Structures are given as structure tokens and as C-alpha cells.
Amino acid sequence: MESNSRFIIGVNLQDPEADPCVFVFQRDLFGEDTVGVTVPRSQVQGVEPAQLAEGITNYYLKRYPDEQERAGRASVVRAVQRAIK
């Protein structure tokens, strides 16, 4: 079976109870190219989920500007929002 969809980016929250929280950005299908973004729990708990997703996305795209073109801002925001839920 063939699919016309392709993997763009995935984000997972390593341990929702940990402090700090680590969001792992998976930049390839097989998980060989990953990047962690660390956020203090106090910042995670102190903001609305949409605002948190925007902040993490902004930080990630600032650190890895090539991802803006490769994955697109909207895809990154959606992936972070799924990880937060």
C-alpha cells in the first residue's frame, strides 16, 4: 500500500510530571534526528496551552531557523499542541 502523505515533524513531551519538562522534536520519520527543548514546569503551568505552544514554537524556530522552511510554522505549532494535550 502506498501513501501520498509524508512525515513532517513530531513532538513528544518526555515526562509530563518532570521538572523541567522536555519537549522532544522528531525531525525525521525514524527518530534519528531529534532535538530537546527544555521548559521549567512553572512556565508550563503558568500559561494557557495555546500560548505555551506558541512560545515553544518561537523558541524552537529561533534556534533552528531552517525548520521554518522545511516544516513550516503551522506544522510545528500543531505538533507542539498535540504534545501538550
Taking only the tens of pLDDT, the chain with its 85 residues reads 555 578 999 999 999 899 999 999 999 999 899 999 999 999 888 899 999 999 999 999 999 999 999 999 999 999 999 999 8
What is the rounded distance in angstroms from the CA atom of residue 77 to the CA atom of residue 23? Answer: 12
Is residue 32 domain-resident? yes
- The CA distance from 35 to 76, in Å, is 13
The total number of structural domains in the chain stands at: 1
| 42 falls within a domain | yes
Neighbours of 71 (CB within 10 A): 19
pLDDT score at 3: 57
CA-closest candidate to residue 75, choices 33, 60, 47: 60
For residue 31, tell me if it sits in a domain.
Answer: yes
- What's at 45, amino acid-wise? Q
Beta strands in the chain (DSSP E): 10-13, 21-26, 34-39
Determine the pLDDT at residue 4.
58
Q: Report in angstroms the alpha-carbon separations of 42 from 46, 52, 61.
A: 6, 12, 22
- Is residue 55 situated within a structural domain? yes
Do the domain assignments include residue 5? no
Its domain, for residue 63, covers 10-84
Residue 24 lies in a domain: yes
